[in-house]
Amino acid sequence: MDEAKSAGGLTLPRRRLLLGAGAGLVAAPFVLRSSLAFALGKADPFTLGVASGDPAPDGFVLWTRLAPDPLAPDGSGGLAGAIPVDWEIAEDEAMARVVSRGTAQADDRFAHSVHVEAGGLKPGRPYWYRFTALGARSPVGRAMTAPAPGAPLDRLRFCFASCSNWEVGYFSAYRHMAEEQPDLVLFLGDYIYEYSHGAGQDVVRRHDRPGEIKDLAGYRNRYALHRTDPDLQALHAAAPCLMTWDDHEVQNDYANRWSEDMDVPPADFLVRRAAAYRAFYEHMPLRRRSLPNGPDMRVYDRLRFGDLVEFSLLDGRQYRTIQPCAAPHSRKGHVADPACAERTDPSRTMLGFEQERWLHDGFKASTARWNVIAQDLLITSYAQKDPKTGMVGHWTDGWDGYPATRTRMLNAVAESKVSNPVFLGGDIHSFWTTDLKADFDQQDSATVATEFVGTSITSDGPSYDLFVQTLPLNPHVKFFDSRQRGYVGVEVTPGRMETRFQAISDRRDPHATVSTLKRWVVETGKPGAVPA
């Protein structure tokens, strides 16, 4: 996407949004927007910013949600009835050369969100967009189209992120991602957390609604709260995104139709899942094919960027078998006893057999130079200690709870000879670089793919001291650090992939700085990262 670079990036909207970041938190978007509505004394409907997603060669999805009262307790955003929302797409950031425009309807059904599937655009270049509704104008966002299928692409720059717990820190990592002006941003889960900290717990800011959210109004409120954050607004305005989810978009450690609480019947849990998935759809730049149908919603997807990169975006939660060897009365992840035979049962699945087949077929069909599998969890096998008993075993809620799916997936990688497979993940609130092995029990086994996991934007990391004790048992793990918060920056060229582990100075500081903790290189044709 070199053309994008030469086009100069995002100056006007970025300046506005970043000024907002410096000027204070929730109030900034209201103060800085010199909209007509504001002049008329009406509340600004664009309090949640704008976003774009799912770039294709001819277009992308544009998103906004009208919410003059973003945290209204009923989740309505302070609006009722159908409201027309005009959108326009321009070739320049000043919005002078408009190339496409239209009108979408926002209504109560989807909380006055709009999802515009723009088409008919030129491949491989940036565009700028904005919305107008209720006499007000939104900030300008920057989107990109993907290059034409198979077209030569010299470079793709993207960032990936996971685990942004509102209460324990400010979103400085998101601000620094926005400042990189990447071509694409991947959100790999735990974009929100459904629970809240208790009154006595040490937090930097509180959720608007205390306690655990369980209904549609609650999930809407939680997403809206996050989107009032100027750093997150700046990131969504700066680049298109791909989205998947992990557990906290619904409930900690849920699996398919099973709550972590064994006393909740699956039928009841599916009512909650339907509310959570619907609110996710309403707040993300997703295509119509992701429209929720009750408790079901498709998020796994595949995107291509010219001849250079193919992304397979996975859903690790919706279709999985129940976790193995649950320890009543909770299905919460735990270190399973090595005697747990259920864990390795090949009839169990992490992705669901349909998604597994779709993924393996994709490996066979791909012609891209780099094949990135973006998903929610740590992939590698990791023998770890139970913090209470000291027993060494494997964690049940992640890929280690579903090793048969992992073996099938890595076998499919090896058999298909898919070019340069790289797996990305989150969830574990720590940085990891690993060699994904054909057989994790044989250390001379071939490395079939490379893995990078990013730390949390803000969420608490796991115990560093506990995890380093078991590193010697896991020689395929090349790097682990749980002591920083941040994100990962990636630059892909035909010959190599360069990865930066980016750490922020202090999650409690709304103006935290960023530095590079570690750099990695993957050379084409050689699975496994090496320090840069």
Footprint on residues 420-459 left by Fe ion (CB under 5 A): 459
Contact 470, 385 (CB under 8 A): yes
Nearer to Ca ion, 190 or 400 (CB): 190
Q: How many of the other CB atoms lie within 10 Å of CB of 265?
A: 11
Of 54, 88, 167, 190, which one interacts with Fe ion (CB under 5 A)? 190
Q: Least Å distance between CB 212 and Fe ion?
A: 15
Q: Least Å distance between CB 191 and Ca ion?
A: 11
Contact 132, 138 (CB under 8 A): yes
- Sequence-ordered alpha helix ranges (H) in 366-437: 403-416
Nearer to Fe ion, 190 or 397 (CB): 190
β-bridge partners, 141: 129
Nearer to Ca ion, 429 or 507 (CB): 429
Q: Is position 163 an interface residue for Fe ion (rule: CB under 5 A)?
A: yes
Q: Least Å distance between CB 431 and Ca ion?
A: 16
194 binds, among Ca ion, Fe ion, none (CB under 5 to 8 A by kind): none
Two structure tokens written together for 481: 């650090």
Q: Is position 249 an interface residue for Fe ion (rule: CB under 5 A)?
A: no
Q: Least Å distance between CB 427 and Fe ion?
A: 5
Nearer to Fe ion, 93 or 190 (CB): 190
The count of residues interacting with Fe ion (CB under 5 A) is 3
Binding mask 304-333 for Fe ion (x = CB under 5 A): ------------------------------
359 binds, among Ca ion, Fe ion, none (CB under 5 to 8 A by kind): none
Nearer to Ca ion, 140 or 424 (CB): 424
Element (H, E) at 361: helix 353-365
Two structure tokens written together for 213: 């959210």
Residue recorded with tokens 């700046």: 234
Q: Packing angle between helix 172-180 and helix 230-238, nearest 10 degrees?
A: 20
CA dist 481 to 192, 420, 456, Å?
23, 25, 11
Q: Least Å distance between CB 470 and Ca ion?
A: 20
CA dist 79 to 109, 112, 229, 353, Å?
11, 8, 21, 42
Contact 79, 158 (CB under 8 A): no
44 binds, among Ca ion, Fe ion, none (CB under 5 to 8 A by kind): none
Nearer to Fe ion, 163 or 448 (CB): 163
Q: Is position 250 an interface residue for Fe ion (rule: CB under 5 A)?
A: no
Binding site for Ca ion (CB under 5 A): 190, 246-247, 427
Contacts by residues 204-210 (CB-CB < 8 Å, ≥ 24 positions apart): 204/167, 204/168, 204/169, 204/170, 204/507, 204/508, 205/25, 205/166, 205/167, 205/170, 206/167, 207/166, 207/167, 208/71, 209/73
Strands 156-161 and 184-187 turn out to be: parallel
Nearer to Fe ion, 405 or 456 (CB): 456
Q: Least Å distance between CB 374 and Ca ion?
A: 15
247 binds, among Fe ion, Ca ion, none (CB under 5 to 8 A by kind): Ca ion
Q: Least Å distance between CB 246 and Ca ion?
A: 4
For the chain, the residue count is 532
Nearer to Fe ion, 462 or 494 (CB): 462
Nearer to Ca ion, 246 or 315 (CB): 246
Two structure tokens written together for 372: 């990135």
C-alpha 321/C-alpha 410 separation (Å) is 19
C-alpha 243/C-alpha 187 separation (Å) is 5
Q: Least Å distance between CB 173 and Ca ion?
A: 17
β-bridge partners, 137: 132
Binding mask 456-475 for Fe ion (x = CB under 5 A): ---x----------------
C-alpha 252/C-alpha 398 separation (Å) is 12
Contact footprint for Fe ion (CB under 5 A): 163, 190, 459
